[in-house]
Amino acid sequence: MTSPRPAADWHVTEALALRYAEGAASETDAWSLEKHVESCSLCAGRVSAAVRAGAAGPALASLRAELLASVGHRPAPVPAVAASPLGRWARLWWAAGPALRGSWVVAVALVLGGAFALAYGAGFQGARSWLLALSPVLPLGGVAVSYGRHADPLYEITAATPSGGLRLLLTRAAAVLTVCVPLLTAGGALLPPVAGFPGAAAWLLPGLALTLATLALGSFVGCRAAAATVAGGWLLAVTGPLLGPSATGPTGTTEGSAAAIARYFSGPTAQGSWAVAALACAALLVLRRRSFDHLETR
């Protein structure tokens, strides 16, 4: 029986890969091989090819086909499509997560459409105030449905890969923000301005801080519960001025509500506070980065 060898000093030979595929490798050789292929893609491909070509190949192919079929995956009919620019964009869209492929995008579009309908169809002057007040929490819905067993049918597979955990969650959260930032900022800029209210981009730092707060809190309680908690707290804070007695000015306008909401967005103090909060949440997220690897097993 041979002794285990350090992964950096050797690579899997064709002969060893063949013995492993046939189940004839010694226990220590098999252990060394399995440990080595975790960090060596070249040897992983060699072993995978040997296993697929062996007696277990047909069973593995059948199992893979059944697994993909169970999650609704259908292979592209023309292999060349996968190598085309359209195929690469399709893979990127899929990797971006369930949020960008589900009802969340529709919900964001409906919020924008409702704001425009109120502003230009019903003549409601407070549409911009409402949209800017709601914008920081709209990304949280996308984050909530981007990661975890409840949202991703391939969660068990992706969580076991080196790209799983916090790295995958950050990738999908970035994709959510990539959609939200231009849509909500442009939408706010196109709505009628409200006297005393900040610009359309004033929600960006609050939105980033709330998103990072959701991720940090999610490391303790999961993404859905964290998003619901943070969004609920924000909505309680901002809807009071919008719905309260100061919601209209002396002439029936929305000047009162705009002034009340503006304190959350306007000025160096407010924006600086959001920046500090975002940095604090990011630091906590770094400290808690390992918690996402096993969060869904609890």
Residue 85's pLDDT is what? 58
Indicate whether 85 belongs to any domain.
Answer: no
Are residue 63 and residue 110 in the same domain, yes or no? no
Residue 5's pLDDT is what? 46
Are residue 225 and residue 153 in the same domain, yes or no? yes
Are residue 66 and residue 113 in the same domain, yes or no? no
Are residue 210 and residue 171 in the same domain, yes or no? yes
First to last CA, the chain: 40
Are residue 54 and residue 119 in the same domain, yes or no? no
Indicate whether 115 belongs to any domain.
Answer: yes
Are residue 167 and residue 291 in the same domain, yes or no? yes
Are residue 60 and residue 201 in the same domain, yes or no? no
Are residue 229 and residue 138 in the same domain, yes or no? yes
Report how far residue 201's alpha carbon sits from residue 229's, in angstroms, rounded to the nearest whole number.
24
Residue 101's pLDDT is what? 67
Read off the pLDDT of residues 235-290 as tens digits, 9 standing for 90 and up: 998 877 666 554 444 434 455 566 778 889 988 999 999 999 999 999 999 999 88
Are residue 138 and residue 260 in the same domain, yes or no? yes
Q: How far is CA 264 from CA 125, 240, 241, 257, in A?
A: 20, 13, 11, 12
Q: Report, as ranges of residue numbers, the positions in the chain whose pLDDT lies below 50.
A: 1-8, 76, 78-83, 246-253, 297-298
Indicate whether 154 belongs to any domain.
Answer: yes
Output the pTM of the full model.
0.67
Are residue 140 and residue 40 in the same domain, yes or no? no
Residue 212's pLDDT is what? 96
Residue 298's pLDDT is what? 40
- Residue 193's domain comprises 98-297
Residue 82's pLDDT is what? 45
Q: Is 194 left (phi over 0), alpha (psi -120 to 50) or beta?
A: beta
Please provide the DSSP assignment of the chain as one string.
-PPP--GGG----HHHHHHHHHT-S-HHHHHHHHHHTTT-HHHHHHHHHHHHHSTTHHHHHHHHHHHHHHTT----SSTHHHHSHHHHHHHHHHHT-GGGGSHHHHHHHHHHHHHHIIIIIS--TTHHHHHHHHGGGHHHHHHHTTSSTTT-TTHHHHHTSTT-THHHHHHHHHHHHHHHHHHHHHHHHHSPP-TT---GGGGHHHHHHHHHHHHHHHHHH-HHHHHHHHHHHHHHHHHHHHHSGGGS-TTSSSHHHHHHHHTTTSHHHHHHHHHHHHHHHHHHHHHTGGGGGSGGG-
Indicate whether 212 belongs to any domain.
Answer: yes
Residue 246's pLDDT is what? 45
Radius of gyration of the chain (CA): 26
